[in-house]
Structure 1
Amino acid sequence: MVPVGGYAPVPAPGQAPPSASSGLQPLPSAAASAAVDAQREQDNLFLQLREASRQNDADRAAGLAARLPNYAIPSYVDYYRLKPRLRDASNEEVLDFLKRYEGSAIADRLRNDWLLELGRRRDWAQFDRELPRFVKNDDYQLKCYALLSRAVKGQNVADEARVLLDNPPNYGDACAALVAQLAQSGQFTTKDLLAQLRLAGEMHATGPSRRTALLLGASDTRAAQAVDVPALAMARGVGSTPAERQIYLVALGRMARTSMKLATVALNKNASKLSAEELATGWANIAYAASLTLAPDAYDDWQRAAGAPLSWQQLEWKTRIALRRGDWKMVRSTIEAMEKPQREQTGWTYWLARAYVALDRKDDAQTLLRRIADQNSFYGQLAMEELGQQIATPPSAAPPTPAELAQAASNPGFKRALKFFSLRLRFEGTREWNWALNNMTERQLLASAEYARQNQILDRMVSTSERTRTEFDYTQRFPAPHDDILQPTAQSLGLDQAWVYGLIRQESRFVTDAQSGVGAAGLMQVMPSTGKWVAEKIGLADYGHGMLNDIRTNIVLGTNYLNMVLANADGSQVLATAAYNAGPARARSWRGLLNTPMEGAIFVETIPFDETRTYVRNVMSNATNYAALFDRRPQSLKARLGTISPRSGGIGLP
């Protein structure tokens, strides 16, 4: 492989770097060694500069940047020099940076940073000039500042704000200021503020709870207690004002997370002091808490909550509990009560279609299913099967030509990405790679994905190839590396190879040295304690924690553990996948709540952990695609999901 633009392709761990082109004469060893040492020193200075900038140490950043006048990525040297001084930098200095690097990923990153600073200063004139130039437009705080800028000018933004303001833990200064401005200008009514108070309590956001209580003329201390010390807040009583009663109901919902019995007794005791809507809200708070543990009373609690204003999370869990009960009328009515953006999400579109089928509205169901059936995702695949189709691999596009690959290799963004990957700066490398994909044609995307494959950056290959809509290469989307290790290992254990690859794709996207925040390592993201336990069980001699990133060891440990959780789940891939992510004890407890067999898709939809629910969906969808690719015939996701039966037993696992 020939290095491009001075950046060497990133070797896989354990592999030697690719050799230089035969057209280049090797340097004398002393000169080569000196060049390597010099580059290593420059890279080390750059990493120090990055860290100084992240710590807002402007003086140290300036000193380090001065020692990197000819570094390979000058835009980032300038960015890391400027970022710690952004609060004090003049508009002219920032605009000069943006002009020099206009159109680049790092310019858009600085524009994001600067817009946040302009919003903090309330410099709406400069903010409004710069916001339309922000390409990513994915910053929650900036969306709030954008509405705030319009609101202070007298524009009515209440409807847009109601949709946006649904995540109090992420509010920060921008969204808090927006809520305050809307309240003070009368655009937000008491009803809106009470809804914000309920949502903040539901999502354990103490700061927003305090601020909203003050806007309502209530005690911010009591609001904080309702979230953090609900027993104390409940002991103070229901209160006399609507805000005080909502604070009490927040405390009731928080208490239900730890003691459903105490919360239920308290609500029944104080029912006469609450309006009909407030009483229903209390039951909704209890029903939500019960739903998160799949408690048997959750369905009845939701019935008692009729007439309560529900948050988006409560609507989702009311729907899930209705699915578990098989109450398709409740499924339909609850999904139809969602706001349009939520209702039109792929999952709720699918379940609404299923409700229409059950309620003999087949034409309406077909319309919804066709809307999502072209999406190669968990719900898109299920929709295909509802329409009588199965999941197959589409015809493969013509491979990229040498000219198309050469164009990809010359892309400056990819060159920067390769440099970052060589420095193990995956966040920056991914940002540069993804930015370079903007406005690419289908053919350019396929060539870029192939270029990622050539450089052994398989996670970028997968994500890049997934962007195509008319031309496909499923060997890019669903790669099967290390088959010489995985295939015989899976075969010896009797594991479905498609499922194992589907799990690896979700766990690490084939980044061999992937490391999670909790310490899981390698392709199969094996936890150190699990690796040690499995190594002892299978008699792996001389095993040490440092071996977890070794590809062979990681696959051997991961597949053996997967085989154990599969046996413990009576062969259910759904249960075993959930156990692999959330732990066998949790998967057993969820299964233990079943009294009768449950459709696999409904079981997956009602997994209480958001992360695990998404994980299982993706793994099972991946596995179906891998099976179609490996077997060269259509597959059924529904058959793979199967039916989840009540617990029968199982071996003990960590």
Structure 2
Amino acid sequence: MSEQSEQLVQQRVWYVDALREAQSGSYATVQKWRQKMGDYPLFPYVELAYLKNHPYLSNKQKIREFLNIYEGTPLEWPLRRPWLEYLAKKGDAITFINDFKATSDAELNCHNLSFQLKIGARIKDIADQIRTLWVVGKSQPKACDALFEKWADNGLRTNEMIRERVIKAADGGSHTLIPYLTKLLPKEDRSWAKLWHRVRRNPAAITKHKYFPRQDADYAAIQFYGLKRLIWRDPDVALSHFDKVSLQYPFTEEQLGQLSYRFALALASKGHAESKHWLSRVPAQLKDAKIVHWHLATYLREENWIQVASLIQSLPQNLQSLAINRYWLARAQEQLGIEVTARQNMQELAGMRHYYGFLAAARSDYKYQLNHQSVEIDVAIQEKISQAPAARRAYEFLQLEQFVNARREWYQFKKTLTKTELANAAYLAHQWRWHDQALRAISQAGQNDEVALRFPKAYESIYQKFSKQAGIDFTLALAISRRESTFMADAHSSAGARGLMQIMPATAKTLEGRRFNTRRLYEPETNVRMGTRYLSELTERLNGQVPLAIASYNAGYSRVLRWLPQNKALPLDIWIETIPYHETREYVKAVLAYQQVYEMMNEQPKNIFSQVINKKVIRAD
């Protein structure tokens, strides 16, 4: 180990102690560690630890110098926020306004506007800014109360603003805010606000005539909102109700178009008998890839190839040219006996590295294409990037396995880079074995054909070991992880899934059959052992049909069983295309494509897509 490397190892040990001491120590403590640690990249975090816990006027100069040096980095707001909060508590208007910066933090914005009034601003001059803070669909911090009260007392809050906020609270906001807003309205408007609240809690309330005293635009808006939600909850009731009210209420053309769009999506995804009718009603300007997909899916379920071809050929060129529509047009032509054209279209699509390209290649016996293209590395640029303070901080956090901090530094740093620099940064991250950031950066650089960086064989020995034990393909486990976590060992989803293969704690406990410390799911070995075992069990339960196991890994085994056709066997590519959940549908496509990419990196690649084009699925009760 070189002298420099030994020094870095020692500094990393010191850093942990310095951080702890600086939080509660004096500035002399910071100075002591500065002399000891020298130019260690993470030393600014030691100074930050002291300053954010001592945001006092006596430290004003030090705080301002720190904020000036680290403006725009992840070090800035962890100090600026407590500093501004301290100044607000002290009532120091001048210093607060001088050190305030634009932010989405409502509390700090309210303090800023309140202090502007305190030093002489006229409320009418900042009324629009106050309005922006007030007319939102949720409650705002208590720090805003006095400001809002003064604004209202000056006659600047109108009934229209209150009504606008009621709608925001009902439509996507916090409905518990509505009773408070209702009291602010004149008596004649309160029943309208209460109805918004009622329909937010139960959209079926729109079917009760007694709640709707008038059939004007205000009540039409509530009907419109309720219908958009009710069609998902109870399609038959929504359809029946729409037939009754469509001519009674003054719906605008825009509202009717949006209802057609929402009804079409809901009914098609549920396989409802009325779906075709509503799909045909969607206005041309609202027909997007999502609507076209579900229109296509209704015909695919029936294997109505004439309608499939007719639909796709009727689309504008920008939608016809999408890979999904090119593939299904070729499939339809194939089924209708237009074999030469079908084969030609399949071969054109087969040159692409994605799900539909691989499907097309399998159907036309065309060779799969990786289209790999390496990016030329500029050693000088890479050296410059590696020595940038932010990159050095990111690297040190990586060595300390503080991955969140590492990503924060790297994310902010990447914002300053050109496309060429981003590509070099991606290779640098790859050298650091920081796989998720390497593949993200190379994609952000626009170099999507750099396959080696976009599809790394991260933690290869671990995946090899446990895939073999579970009896599944190593490439499948890699593909699942590539989609689930992009190889972030500390990944944690909003649903609670954790680690490389995103295992749910409940799944882990079931697999272990005993009490289990779910923090261990962040350990690559533990996570991959469980993920491969779970995938193996799903595959076995689904009679070896890997695409169904992939869908189950994402959506759950019982749900996939419900999605299987009961009356007749359905070709697997059609079944995948008609999976009701968009997330699961795209997940299955991505994992299959990723697995094929990983296979093509092997000496003897498997033909993953042969199972997709040659198999059918049916529910066996």
- Name the TM tier (shorter chain): 0.5 to 0.7
**Pair 1:229-2:225 in alignment:** no
> 1:583 — aligned with what?
556
Q: What CA deviation, in whole Å up to 9, does each residue of 1:297-338 have, x standing for no partner?
A: 25345367466985756565444434434431574378549x
**Pair 1:558-2:558 in alignment:** no
Matching residue within 294, 297, 310 for 2:273: 297
Shift of 1:401: 7.6
Q: 1:460 to 1:616 in 2, by over 3 A?
A: same
List aligned pairs for 1:158-307, cutoff 5 A: 219=192, 221-223=194-196, 225-236=198-209, 240-241=215-216, 244-245=219-220, 247-268=222-243, 273=248, 285-292=262-269, 294-302=270-278, 305=281
Shift of 1:503: 0.3
> 1:74 — aligned with what?
70
**Pair 1:617-2:613 in alignment:** no
Aligned partners of 2:585, 2:22: CA distance in 1, in Å? 44
Q: What CA deviation, in whole Å up to 9, does each residue of 1:20-73 have, x standing for no partner?
A: 6345665998x99656522554589959969999xxx99689979957977998
Which AA in structure 2 matches 1:21? Answer: S
Matching residue within 420, 439, 442 for 1:440: 420
Q: What CA deviation, in whole Å up to 9, does each residue of 1:256-306 have, x standing for no partner?
A: 3232333344345557757998989767654433333x2342534536746
Which structure's relative contact order is higher, taking Cα pairs within 8 Å and 6+ residues apart?
Answer: 1
Aligned partners of 2:357, 2:94: CA distance in 1, in Å? 49
Matching residue within 600, 603, 614 for 1:628: 600
List aligned pairs for 1:34-433, cutoff 5 A: 37-39=17-19, 41=21, 46=45, 66=62, 74-75=70-71, 76-82=74-80, 85=84, 219=192, 221-223=194-196, 225-236=198-209, 240-241=215-216, 244-245=219-220, 247-268=222-243, 273=248, 285-292=262-269, 294-302=270-278, 305=281, 317-325=294-302, 326=304, 327-328=307-308, 331-332=311-312, 336=316, 343=319, 346=322, 350=326, 376-379=353-356, 381-382=358-359, 389-394=366-371, 397=374, 400=377, 405-419=382-396, 421=398, 422=400, 423-426=402-405, 427-433=407-413
**Which one is further off, 483-492 or 73-82?**
73-82
Q: What CA deviation, in whole Å up to 9, does each residue of 1:64-86 have, x standing for no partner?
A: 99579779983344444445759
* 8 A contact 1:578–1:612 mirrored in 2: yes
Aligned partners of 2:393, 2:300: CA distance in 1, in Å? 48
Aligned partners of 1:471, 1:256: CA distance in 2, in Å? 40
Shift of 1:586: 1.4
Q: 1:395 to 1:513 in 2, by over 3 A?
A: closer
Shift of 1:561: 0.5
* 8 A contact 1:515–1:522 mirrored in 2: yes
List aligned pairs for 1:526-537, cutoff 5 A: 526-536=503-513
Q: 1:73 to 1:644 in 2, by over 3 A?
A: farther
Q: 1:493 to 1:234 in 2, by over 3 A?
A: same
Aligned partners of 2:446, 2:196: CA distance in 1, in Å? 49
* 8 A contact 2:470–2:533 mirrored in 1: yes
Matching residue within 432, 446, 451 for 1:455: 432
* 8 A contact 2:435–2:486 mirrored in 1: yes
Aligned partners of 2:57, 2:266: CA distance in 1, in Å? 48
Shift of 1:234: 1.8
**Pair 1:517-2:513 in alignment:** no
* 8 A contact 1:281–1:305 mirrored in 2: no
Which AA in structure 1 matches 2:618? Answer: P
Larger radius of gyration: 2
Q: 1:219 to 1:63 in 2, by over 3 A?
A: farther
Shift of 1:522: 1.7
Aligned partners of 1:385, 1:65: CA distance in 2, in Å? 68
Count of aligned pairs between the two proteins: 525
* 8 A contact 1:520–1:527 mirrored in 2: yes
Which AA in structure 2 matches 1:456? Answer: R
Aligned partners of 2:325, 2:54: CA distance in 1, in Å? 50
The TM-score, its normalising length taken from structure 1, stands at: 0.62
Q: What secondary structure is seen at the aligned counterpart in 2 of 1:514?
A: coil
Aligned partners of 1:578, 1:588: CA distance in 2, in Å? 10
* 8 A contact 2:313–2:320 mirrored in 1: no
**Which one is further off, 226-235 or 294-303?**
294-303
Q: What secondary structure is seen at the aligned counterpart in 1 of 2:403?
A: coil
Shift of 1:558: 0.8
**Pair 1:646-2:618 in alignment:** yes
Q: What secondary structure is seen at the aligned counterpart in 2 of 1:534?
A: helix
What is the RMSD of the two structures over their aligned residues, measured on CA atoms? 5.7
Aligned partners of 1:379, 1:460: CA distance in 2, in Å? 27
Q: What CA deviation, in whole Å up to 9, does each residue of 1:371-426 have, x standing for no partner?
A: x8776443455566688744333456488586565344224442243355544325
- Over the matched positions of the two proteins, sequence identity in percent amounts to 19
Aligned partners of 1:28, 1:430: CA distance in 2, in Å? 21
Shift of 1:459: 0.4
Which AA in structure 1 matches 2:561? Answer: R
Matching residue within 598, 621, 635 for 2:571: 598
* 8 A contact 2:476–2:595 mirrored in 1: yes
Which AA in structure 1 matches 2:278? Answer: W
Aligned partners of 2:97, 2:495: CA distance in 1, in Å? 43
Q: What CA deviation, in whole Å up to 9, does each residue of 1:411-464 have, x standing for no partner?
A: 4442243355544325513413532543316xx72x433321332311012223
Shift of 1:484: 2.4
Q: What CA deviation, in whole Å up to 9, does each residue of 1:504-532 have, x standing for no partner?
A: 11112112222222322221111111111
Which AA in structure 2 matches 1:561? Answer: Y
* 8 A contact 1:514–1:521 mirrored in 2: yes
Q: What secondary structure is seen at the aligned counterpart in 2 of 1:440?
A: helix
Shift of 1:228: 3.6
Q: 1:499 to 1:386 in 2, by over 3 A?
A: same
* 8 A contact 2:501–2:527 mirrored in 1: yes
Q: What CA deviation, in whole Å up to 9, does each residue of 1:198-244 have, x standing for no partner?
A: x999985788xx99xx9xx9955545544442222221278634664
Q: 1:34 to 1:529 in 2, by over 3 A?
A: closer
Aligned partners of 2:292, 2:536: CA distance in 1, in Å? 37
Q: 1:330 to 1:395 in 2, by over 3 A?
A: closer
Shift of 1:497: 1.5
Which AA in structure 1 matches 2:484? Answer: E
Which AA in structure 2 matches 1:526? Answer: I
Aligned partners of 2:276, 2:9: CA distance in 1, in Å? 80
Aligned partners of 1:65, 1:646: CA distance in 2, in Å? 72
Aligned partners of 1:298, 1:424: CA distance in 2, in Å? 50
Which AA in structure 1 matches 2:506? Answer: S
> 1:21 — aligned with what?
2
Q: 1:72 to 1:643 in 2, by over 3 A?
A: farther
* 8 A contact 2:346–2:361 mirrored in 1: no
Gaps of 5+ in 1: 1-19, 98-109, 123-147, 150-167, 173-195, 650-654
Which AA in structure 1 matches 2:205? Answer: L
Q: What CA deviation, in whole Å up to 9, does each residue of 1:522-579 have, x standing for no partner?
A: 211111111111123xxxx885434322222211111110011112222222221121
Aligned partners of 2:387, 2:515: CA distance in 1, in Å? 46
**Pair 1:573-2:546 in alignment:** yes
The TM-score, its normalising length taken from structure 2, stands at: 0.65
Q: 1:225 to 1:43 in 2, by over 3 A?
A: same
**Pair 1:475-2:430 in alignment:** no
